[in-house]
Amino acid sequence: MKKNIWGVVLAVVGAVALGGIALYRQEPINALWIVTAAVCIYLLGFRFYAAWIAARVLTVDQSRATPAERHDNGRDFVPTHRWIVFGHHFAAIAGPGPLVGPTLAAQFGYLPGTLWIMVGAVVGGCVQDMTILLLSTRRDGRSLGQMARDELGPFGGFAALIGTLLIMIILIAVLGLVVVNAMKHSPWGTSTVFTTIPVAILVGFYLRTWRPGRVLEASLLGLVLVLLAVLGGGWVDHQPALRPWFDYDGVPLAGFVILYGWLAAILPVWLLLAPRDYLSTFLKLGTVVLLAIAIVLTHPQIKMPALTQFIDGSGPLFGGKVFPFVFITIACGAISGFHSLIASGTTPKLISSEADVRLIGYGSMALESFVAIMAMIAATLLDPGVYFAINTGAGIVGSTPEAAVQTITGWGFPVTAQQMQSLAQDMGERTLFARTGGAPSLAVGMASIFGNSFGRGLLAVWYHFAIMFEAVFILTTLDAGTRVGRFMLQDLFGQVWKPFGRTSWYPSVLLASTLVVAAWGYFLYIGVIDPNGGVNILWPLFGIANQMLAAIALSVATGILVKSGKARYAFVTLVPLAWLALITTTAAWQKIVSPNVRIGFFAAANDLAAKLAAGTLPAERAAVAPQLIFNQRLDGWLTVLFTAIVWFVIIDMIRVWSRRARGLSVIQSSEAPYQLTRLQGVPQGSGS
Partner 1 sequence: MRGERATVLRLARALGAAWRWLRAASGDDAYERYLAHHVREHADRLPLSRRAFFRESQQRKWSGVSRCC
Residues that bind partner 1 (CB under 8 A): 72-76, 78, 80-81, 83-84, 87-88, 92-97, 143, 171, 175, 207-208, 212-216, 219, 269-270, 273-274, 277-278, 332, 336, 338-339, 341-342, 345-346, 476-477, 480-481, 483-484, 487, 503, 546, 684-688
How far is Cα 384 from Cα 226, in angstroms, rounded to an integer?
32
Question: 3-state DSSP call for residue 68?
Answer: helix
Q: Which is nearer to partner 1, 139 or 563 (CB)?
A: 139
Cα distance between residue 70 and residue 582, in whole Å? 41
Please identify, using beta-carbon distances, which residue of 126 and 405 lies nearer to partner 1: 126
For residue 399, the minimal CB distance to partner 1 (Å) is 31
Q: What is residue 80's DSSP assignment?
A: B
Which runs of consecutive H residues, i.e. helices, occur in 594-618? 601-614
Nearer to partner 1, 306 or 359 (CB): 359
Is the bond leading into 316 cis (omega within 30 degrees of zero)? no
The nearer residue to partner 1, 158 or 270, going by C-beta atoms, is 270
Q: How far is the CB of 207 from partner 1 (least distance, A)?
A: 7
* Cα 683 from Cα 390, distance rounded (Å): 50
Residue 560: CB minimum distance to partner 1, A: 20
CA separation for the pair 559, 554 (Å, rounded): 8
- For residues 95 and 332, is the Cβ–Cβ distance under 8 A? yes
210 class by beta-carbon count within 10 Å (0-12 exposed, 13-18 middle, 19+ buried): exposed
Question: At closest approach, how far in Å is the CB of 688 from partner 1?
Answer: 6
Q: Which residues sit opposite 64 in a β-bridge?
A: 676
Residue closer to partner 1 (CB basis): 300 or 363:
363
Q: What is d(CA 53, CA 571) in angstroms, rounded to the nearest whole number? A: 11
Rounded CA-CA distance 234/214 in Å is: 31
Which CB atom, from 90 or from 387, has the smaller least distance to partner 1?
A: 90
From the CB of 74, what's the least distance to partner 1, in Å? 3
- Cβ closer to partner 1: 49 or 505? 505
Q: Which residues of 54-70 are buried (b: 16+ CB within 10 A; e: fewer)?
A: beebbebeeebbbbbbe
Least distance to partner 1, CB of residue 288, Å: 15
Query: Residue 369 in contact with residue 117, Cβ under 8 Å?
Result: yes
What is the smallest separation between the CB atom of 159 and partner 1, expressed in angstroms?
A: 17
- 187/204 with CB nearer partner 1: 204
* Smallest distance from partner 1 to CB 684, Å: 8
Q: 238: Cβ–Cβ under 8 A, 6 or more apart, which residues?
A: none
How far is it, in rounded angstroms, from Cα 490 to Cα 513?
9
